[in-house]
Amino acid sequence: MPRLSNACKRSIIPLLLAALPIAASPVLADSRPTFGWVEEGLILPENTRVKFKLDTGALTSSMHAENIDSFKKDGDDWVRFTVELEDMDSEKQVKTRLERKVVRKIKVRGAGGADSRPVVMMKVCLGDRVYEDQFSLNDRDKMNYPVLIGRRMLEDVGLVDSSRTFTTEPNCKTGNSKKS
């Protein structure tokens, strides 16, 4: 290995030290989009525009659902539920009855005690991408945000800037789908 002269060392060392913070910074190296802690999104396939809360404190995403009924279909656990939300575009109540296969059940502990919830696969649009991910179903009528995006999905979505809101509008086209 060739030996460097003292003059060469003096010129290289400041360059290496200047580059170190950039190379060590994961935020600068991350090319994923940055969203605010509240964004507009679409619940698919109905294309209902609602507020999504991007919650880094929640592991699993959650969606408002009412009248959740469990049933068996081909030996598997399924749920039938009603999604009734106010569309931000039309300000009309959108009500639809959906059926989904239960992926798993989770136990949620809170101030009111423990609660068991079904988890299903749902598609949503955030920014310019469609995401299919697991959502626990829960009556979120008393909550400000009908859809909560948890850390599992946020890993694929991007970064969250807690000082910002409504940084993007949903603009999903076919083929921009990402399965989480």
Residue 155 lies in a domain: yes
Let me know if residue 163 belongs to a domain: yes
Residue 55 lies in a domain: yes
Residue 37 lies in a domain: yes
* pLDDT above 90 for 12: no
The two beta strands, 66-73 and 38-44, are unpaired
Q: What is the CATH number of the domain that holds 109?
A: 2.40.70.10
pLDDT (average), residues 126-134? 95
Segment 16-73, tens digit of pLDDT: 556 555 555 555 567 889 999 999 999 888 788 889 999 999 999 999 999 999 999 9
In a domain, 172, yes or no: yes
103 has pLDDT over 80: yes
How many structural domains does the chain have?
1
**Is residue 175 scored above 50 in pLDDT?**
no
d(CA 97, CA 139): 14
Specify the pLDDT at position 9.
Answer: 59
pTM of the complete model:
0.75
Q: How far apart are CA 72 and CA 70, in angstroms?
A: 7
- In this prediction, residue 30 carries a pLDDT of 72
Burial of 39 (0-12, 13-18, 19+ CB in 10 A): buried
Please give the single-letter amino acid code of residue 180.
Answer: S
pLDDT at 161: 95
Q: What is the mean pLDDT of residues 161-178?
A: 81
SS3 90: coil
**Residue 29: CA count within 13 A, CB half-sphere:** 8
DSSP result, 4-23 = PPHHHHHHHHHHHHHHHHHH
Domain that holds residue 134: 32-179
The mean-pLDDT minimum among 5-9, 40-44, 66-70, 163-167 falls in: 5-9
Task: Mark residue 178 as left, alpha or beta (left: phi above 0; alpha: psi -120 to 50; beta: remaining).
Answer: beta
Assess if residue 74 is contained within a domain.
Answer: yes
Confidence (pLDDT) at 107: 87
120 within domain boundaries: yes
